[in-house]
Amino acid sequence: MNDWEWQLLEENAPVASVEVAGVNLKKSDLVRLRPRAGGDIFDLALAGQIAVIESIEQDYEGKVHLAVVLENDPGRDLGVLRQPGHRFFFTPEEVEPLAPPPKILIAGIGNIFLGDDGFGVEVIRRLSSHEFPKNVNVKDFGIRGYDLAYALLDATDFTILVDAAPRGGVPGTVYLIEPQIADGSPEQPQPALDAHAMNPVSVVQLARTMGPVRSRILLVACEPASLGGEEGHMGLSGPVAAAVDEAIGMINKLVAKLLADGRPVDLSRNSPERNKSNANGDQQ
């Protein structure tokens, strides 16, 4: 490329987005690579791979190109730094738009000074060493009800609450519950939160008085043996401590299912997924 071509390239205005198959694509969006037949052999080797748009650029003739990095590339950071071998260019006609994977929040709840009420905290402590995809956030909220309420207002698709919940079963029994929680409204008084404990139902109701909560709420709960009595105590009872591994296994299976069910979907006009969604009225 000569100096004149470089000057033309630098004079091109940055491109914020580009329409592909009826979908407006921008930086950080997911696409599936569909290189044209007869193209570069290295591009053809990437056919079917899922990639992230790192930038949208124009060449000196004004043609738009998508600079992408492969989603599962261990050297993805090098691609973001514009290093060759990890950053690739495709035309808009060579990609299919994809919906992003679902965002999942795994939230531990409980007071470690109230015996088995610390179940959720212990599960999150153990889960913190697990390697989850970047769209899965694992966090210990303890008794910080307002922090959890604000987290529920974020654009999260699923929230898995982990807590102790007396339901009359045998201590150590692990439950998977989808609680039915009445909607709140800004006109209603905000639910009072206990400074020493957290009631997940009250927190969700509080969040709904503060703004829209679009996250689907699931609860992984354990039947406690003791909540510490009047004076409280630290440490889980034997049956509840033994149930931590079962809860972790349940959460891992649940996350895997949610991610599989919410795998990237082709959003292009003629895709089978989009046509099926339109037929069911689930997606525009």
Convert the pLDDT of each residue in 192-215 to its tens digit: 555 556 777 888 888 888 888 888
Per-residue CA distances from 257 to 135, 251, 254, 260, 282 (Å)? 14, 10, 5, 5, 20
Cα separation, 206 vs 125, in Å, equals: 26
Same-domain pairing of 56 and 113: no
Comparing 58-62, 162-166, 216-220, the range with the smallest average pLDDT is 58-62
Q: Are residues 58 and 123 in the same domain?
A: no
Domain count, the chain: 2
Say if 133 falls within a structural domain. yes
Specify whether 156 is located in the same domain as 54.
no
Would residue 275 count as lying in a domain? no
pLDDT, averaged across the chain = 81
169 pLDDT above the threshold of 60 = yes
Q: Is residue 277 part of a domain?
A: no
- Asked if the structure places residue 164 within a domain, the reply is yes
Q: Final residue of a domain: which of 78, 98, 118?
A: 98
Question: Quick one: 129 and 247 in the same domain?
Answer: yes
**DSSP tag of 256:** H
pLDDT tens, position by position, 135-149:
899 999 998 888 998
What is the β-pairing status of strands 95-98 and 104-109? Answer: unpaired
Q: Residue 152's CB: how many other CB atoms inside 10 A?
A: 24
Q: In sequence order, what are the residues at sequence separation of 6 or more whose Cβ sits closer than 8 angstroms to the Cβ of residue 228?
A: 113, 114, 115, 116, 117
What's the whole-number mean pLDDT along residues 5-16? Answer: 59
Give percent of the chain above pLDDT 90. 35
Look at 9-13, 15-19, 219-223 and tell me which has the smallest mean pLDDT: 9-13
Q: What is residue 277's predicted lDDT score, i.e. its pLDDT?
A: 35
Kindly list the distances between the CA atom of residue 123 and the CA atoms of 70, 151, 224, 236, in Å, as whole numbers in the listed order: 33, 19, 14, 11
Let me know whether 228 and 140 are in one domain. yes
Identify the pLDDT of residue 188.
53
CB 55 within 8 A of CB 27: yes
Within 153-232, where are the H helices? 200-210
Residues 29, 161, single domain; the answer is no
Residues 91 and 124 occupy one common structural domain: no
Domain boundary (36, 71, 98) is at 98
What is the domain range of residue 147? Answer: 104-261
State the pLDDT confidence band at 134, using cuts at 50, 70 and 90. confident
Q: Same domain, yes or no, for 191 and 127?
A: yes
Question: Can you give the CATH number for the domain in which 163 is found?
Answer: 3.40.50.1450
The pLDDT of residue 264: 63
CA–CA separation, 97 and 33 (whole Å): 9
Quickly list H helices, 109-160.
119-127, 145-152
pTM for this predicted structure: 0.67
Give the model's pLDDT for residue 138: 96
247 and 161 in one domain?
yes
Residue at 79 is within a domain: yes
| pLDDT tier, 278 (very low <50, low <70, confident <90, very high otherwise) | very low
Q: What single letter denotes the amino acid at residue 110?
A: G
Q: What pLDDT shows up at residue 284?
A: 35
Is residue 284 a part of any domain in this protein? no
Asked whether residue 207 is assigned to any structural domain, the reply reads yes
- pLDDT at position 90 over 60: yes
Question: CA angle at residue 44 from 39 to 45, to 5 degrees?
Answer: 155
Q: Report the pLDDT value the prediction gives residue 37, as an integer from 0 to 100.
A: 84
Look at residues 98, 129, 148 and tell me which one is the last residue of a structural domain: 98
Q: 12-32 burial, b for 16+ CB within 10 Å, e for fewer?
A: eeeeeebebbebebeeebbbb
Per-residue pLDDT tens over the stretch 235-253: 999 999 999 999 999 999 9
- For the stretch 132-138, contacts whose Cβ atoms lie closer than 8 Å and that sit 24 or more positions apart, written own/partner, are 132/255, 133/101, 133/259, 135/100, 135/101, 135/102, 135/103, 135/104, 136/103, 136/104, 136/106, 136/255, 136/259, 137/103, 137/104, 137/105, 137/106, 138/106
Question: What is the number of other CB atoms lying within 10 angstroms of the CB of residue 135?
Answer: 15
Residues 78 and 162 in one domain: no
* One domain for residues 210 and 240: yes
Distances (CA, A) of 56 to 6, 68, 89, 101, 248: 17, 9, 9, 22, 41
Query: In the beta sheet, which residues pair with residue 95?
Result: 33
Q: Two tokens at 120?
A: 């959720």
Residue 280 maps to a domain: no
Please give the DSSP secondary-structure letter assigned to residue 147: H
Pair 233, 140 in one domain = yes
202 to each of 48, 180, 227, how far by Cα in Å?
45, 12, 19
CATH number at residue 9: 2.30.30
